[in-house]
Amino acid sequence: MEKIAFYDAKPYDKEWFDKYNKNYEIDYYVGRLRPENAKLAEGCKAVCAFVNDVVNAKTIEILAKEGVEVILMRCAGYNNVDLAAAKGKLKILRVPAYSPYAVAEHTMGLILALNRKIPRAYIRTRDFNFSLNGLTGFDLHGKTAGIIGTGKIGRVFIDICRGFGMNVIAYDLYPAENSGINYVSKEELFRNSDIISLHCPLTEQTRYIIDEAALRLMKKNALIVNTSRGHLIDSEALLTALNEKRIGGAALDVYEEESGLFFEDNSDKIVTDEIISLLVSRPNVIVTSHQAFLTEEALANIAEVTLKNLDDYLSGKELVNEVK
């Protein structure tokens, strides 16, 4: 029976992978994959990695030396993988789509919570404070949602926005033909949107797509939502815009320096990252812990597709989910 070294394992990972695994011996490791612990994969045919694992050239070199042939990314993104270093040494397989509904629905949940001040209201009523002061939001109906990235998640979110009666505009480097989506330039989207939601992958073209210049184009009451990748937003520029009251608020499920912070309980530690510390302290900011994907349906799909990717590799079938 072939072995898989499974890094950055959480209880929900083990639950769903054990449910769907029939063919492999899986060694679960709590620590993130990085050069210092890559040797744990000795004797394994594959390693299973996640979004914040350090799959750099050094890690890949060690894995290849230990006999690993495949890196199974149990996620859609692979910006943390050094593809050039992996070429000719290891196959990189991913899960391109597990549940676009999970991420899109969480995105709308963040917007509703941010706009209608739901977390603040919840905390108040726990202390029997039923005052409505400071809880005013605005109708989403008739407002403009600017969607950056119109892949599967972006399109599901567009449908949700339309269901709320919102006007939708979008920007994408590769617009979908005959989609009925109203594509505009980045600048027009920044100027005209009441809500800006990010659903694009992280590439050199999209890194810091929300920067100081973009923020200065936005409406004073605009809300920014990011459930995609942290490095799409210049966090320092975002914090400055919030402090100067140049935008209405932000809801973040990802953060550019989240590695080693998100997915972990840091409640008994001193967090030295000043930017995230200041962001979470702002009354018009909501931060969730990269949980947009976290539904039963998504976890089932992730486990099933990840294991099938390895099945296909070992049986010599076409690798439809290979990253090249």
The predicted-structure confidence for 164-221, as pLDDT tens digits, reads as follows 999 999 999 999 999 999 999 999 999 999 999 999 999 999 999 999 999 999 999 9
Q: Which CATH number applies to 100-287?
A: 3.40.50.720
Instruction: Please give the biggest Cα pair distance in the chain.
Output: 64
Among candidate residues 74, 155, 231, 258, the one labeled active-site is: 258
Question: Would you say residue 259 has pLDDT above 90?
Answer: no
Quick one: 71 exposed, middle or buried, by C-beta within 10 A (0-12, 13-18, 19+)?
buried
Task: Quickly state the pLDDT bin for 9 (edges 50, 70, 90).
Answer: very high
Indicate where the chain has its CATH 3.40.50.720 domain(s): 3-98+296-314, 100-287
Residue 77: what pLDDT? 86
Please give the Cα distance from 114 to 4 (Å, whole number).
41
Question: Would you say residue 324 has pLDDT above 90?
Answer: no
Entry pTM: 0.91
Q: Quick one: fold of 3-98+296-314?
A: Rossmann fold (3.40.50)
Among candidate residues 32, 34, 199, 290, the one labeled active-site is: 290
Residue 290 is among the residues annotated as catalytic for this protein: yes
Residue 97: what pLDDT? 85
* Exposed e or buried b per residue across 165-199, where buried means at least 16 C-beta atoms within 10 angstroms of its C-beta: ebbbbbbbeeeeeeeebeebebeebbebbbbbbbb
Residue 229 is among the residues annotated as catalytic for this protein: yes
Among candidate residues 34, 106, 229, 231, the one labeled active-site is: 229
